[in-house]
């Protein structure tokens, strides 16, 4: 059984039978979230290098002895910060003890905290105990999402809806259709004034397509 906890912004914790993994751990966005309480944290995934996604990854990886998986340039940066890393590119399954993941195209920029080149931005698809979870990262609507449906048929899709830097609610609703997941969870909204979103409108647009829209409050868990 897989538990998906929404930490806030784009940060999620996926808890499997034996371990937990974190995606885009900008955990400081949620003062109630305490990563030190995670029993076993094996892996941290980064969609790209921007501060609201890299978040506290370096600190968490060191304290919890977790491995950071990221696109080559970003992984090298994390390695220079003395973290254990796995560097990857887009396009192939990467195997883990708890399952596997594949980095997929996202249309967005990516840079290191010092402004340096962080490689390309990614969406990440996880295959965990038979559940396929697609984390879009930061991206605009793009036709690669149709391929995601064709190749992977995710069960759950986490989609940014806040606009300005990513899809807005209207484009994210189209993305939901293209990706074809049974359940869609909105992320990347409300954190800053520039990414406010009409959640009810998003839920309506998604539900018209017979897709379940699951709006999670910070700390809420989707099983």
- Residue numbers at the binding site for Ni ion (CB under 5 A): 50, 138
Per partner kind, with CB cut-offs from 5 to 8 A, the member of Ni ion, Mn ion, none near residue 168 is none
If contact means CB under 5 to 8 A according to the sort of partner, which of Mn ion, Ni ion, none does residue 43 touch? none
Select 43 or 52, whichever has its Cβ closest to Mn ion. 52
For residue 29, the SS3 value is helix
User: Residue 53 CB, nearest distance to Ni ion (Å)?
Assistant: 6
Q: How far is the CB of 208 from Ni ion (least distance, A)?
A: 29
Site residues, Mn ion (CB under 5 A)? 52, 138
Helices 57-64 and 72-80, axial angle in degrees (round to 10): 60
The nearest distance, CB 55 to Mn ion, in angstroms, is 10
Give the nearer residue to Mn ion in terms of CB position, either 43 or 138: 138
Q: What are the tokens at 82?
A: 């003395």
Outline where DSSP puts E strands in 91-204. 93-96, 99-105, 122-128, 131-135, 156-160, 183-187
Please, what is the minimum distance in Å from the beta carbon of residue 137 to Mn ion? 8
């Amino acid at each position: 059984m897989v538990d998906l906890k929404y930490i806030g912004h784009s940060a999620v914790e996926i808890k499997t039978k034996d371990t937990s993994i974190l995606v885009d751990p900008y955990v400081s966005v949620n003062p109630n979230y305490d990563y030190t309480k995670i029993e076993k944290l094996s892996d941290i995934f980064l969609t790209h290098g921007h501060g609201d996604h890299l978040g506290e990854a370096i600190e968490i990886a060191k304290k919890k002895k977790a491995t950071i998986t990221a696109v080559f340039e970003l992984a090298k940066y994390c390695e220079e910060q003395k973290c254990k890393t796995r560097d990857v590119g887009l396009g192939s399954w990467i195997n883990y003890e708890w399952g596997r993941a594949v980095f997929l195209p996202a249309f967005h920029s990516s840079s290191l905290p010092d402004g340096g080149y962080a490689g390309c931005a990614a969406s990440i698809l996880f295959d965990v105990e038979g559940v396929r979870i697609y984390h879009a990262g930061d991206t605009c609507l793009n036709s690669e999402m149709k391929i995601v449906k064709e190749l992977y048929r995710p069960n759950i899709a986490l989609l940014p809806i806040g606009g300005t830097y990513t899809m807005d609610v209207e484009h994210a609703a189209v993305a939901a259709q293209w990706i074809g997941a049974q359940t869609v969870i909105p992320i990347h909204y409300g954190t800053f004034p520039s990414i406010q979103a009409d959640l009810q409108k998003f839920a309506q647009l998604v539900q018209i397509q017979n897709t379940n829209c699951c709006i999670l409050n910070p700390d809420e868990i989707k099983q």
